Amino acid sequence: MNADNLCYFSFPYLVLSESDYRHLSILVPQLFFLQIDKEPNFPQWETANGGKSFAAWPVVGEEDLKQIRLYLKGYQQFADLHGEGSLLAFMSHERSEKEIRESRFSIQKELRGRESGRADAEKWPLYEAAIFTEMARDLDARELELVGDFSRLESLERQFREIVGIADEEETDALEVVEPVLTPDRSHLSFMLDRRIAFWLRLFSFHPPEGSPALVTVHPNVVDETVDPVASAQERAGKDVRLSRIPLISLPTLEHLQTEAFQTLLGQLRTSDNLSAYWHSLEGALKDPTNPSSIEALNADAAQLLAYVEGFCRTVDALGQRQVSLTLIHSADFTLHDIREALEKGSPAGSQREGDEGSPQNPVSILLCE
């Protein structure tokens, strides 16, 4: 990968919802997902369109992966006995290095009936981050399955109302009571968010890209949990912190499009000049966000893309009121390395600093899709 390229990474999540995948396949050129053990499971329409929107970014070598799989097996058995939420809490709890090692060996001995042998203490920061992040990925995947169940239930309800001939306006009062209960929230994305971010950055430091990274997130809490710790530390030290929030583009939501219609839209966009021009302007704006001309060029190309998407949605009668937006959160006053330092401060495992030589020194650039 060319060092001049801009690389987009899903942060800090390793799996997203169907609607998030749809929006991000248009909003950014290509989105990388950290891969530890399991290969990312992208939507079927991604494969049908040639697999250009998303890609895996392996962060663990084969030898380390063998050891991580052994630990994962033991911890997953532990989770079956005690619940995975309590396991993640155990994994993230700050302990002394001796306590971490003894607890880890104790679990392995109990679950597998044998001593695990002396682990390489220098590798434990990598193993700890990989295990936690992989198990958080499994939790997110199961939560998304539940979201799918809710969506299917809502579809059945709509079909029922159509069958019995109940008009929507007649059901307004009832729906106001029922729908909030049946509609799942995204609270799981905030579960142990500070640890998710810290461990993601630690893994990322073991295999950073040659180009500049732009971190793409789908939850606003990620922004606060990422920048607040280092901003507070620098402000206490008497340093000025400048954090810019720049709206980049807004599009109609695409979650209600039928799969075939969305594939048609995506195929048309990829052969048009609208999408490629927007992506080119987006990269220019991210590389130089303080340049007014870069933002103006992006605004013009974003308007053309918006008009195209709105026109398509009208033709298939799927233009709703809701929109999805992309916002740049940028600071030239601190880097991802600074954020990792602030988040891992006081962490025994994190303080061993393996992977520091790869910690990105680029100014912070976070893209919030909501």
pLDDT band, very low/low/confident/very high, at 332 (cuts 50, 70, 90): confident
pLDDT per position as a tens digit, 78-137: 766 666 555 565 555 544 444 445 455 554 544 444 444 445 677 889 998 998 899 889
pLDDT of residue 117: 45
pTM (predicted TM-score): 0.82
Greatest alpha-carbon span in the chain: 69
Report d(CA 237, CA 330) in Å as an integer: 20
- Secondary structure class of 277 (helix, strand, coil): helix
Report the percentage of the chain scoring pLDDT > 90.
45
Is pLDDT of 368 > 60? yes
Is pLDDT of 359 > 70? no
Q: Which of 70-79, 117-126, 247-256, 289-298 comes out lowest in average pLDDT?
A: 117-126
pLDDT band, very low/low/confident/very high, at 333 (cuts 50, 70, 90): confident
pLDDT per position as a tens digit, 129-184: 998 899 889 888 888 887 665 555 565 565 556 565 555 544 444 444 444 444 44
- Secondary structure class of 291 (helix, strand, coil): coil
pLDDT of residue 179: 41
> Burial, 326: exposed, middle or buried (Cβ in 10 Å; 0-12, 13-18, 19+)?
buried
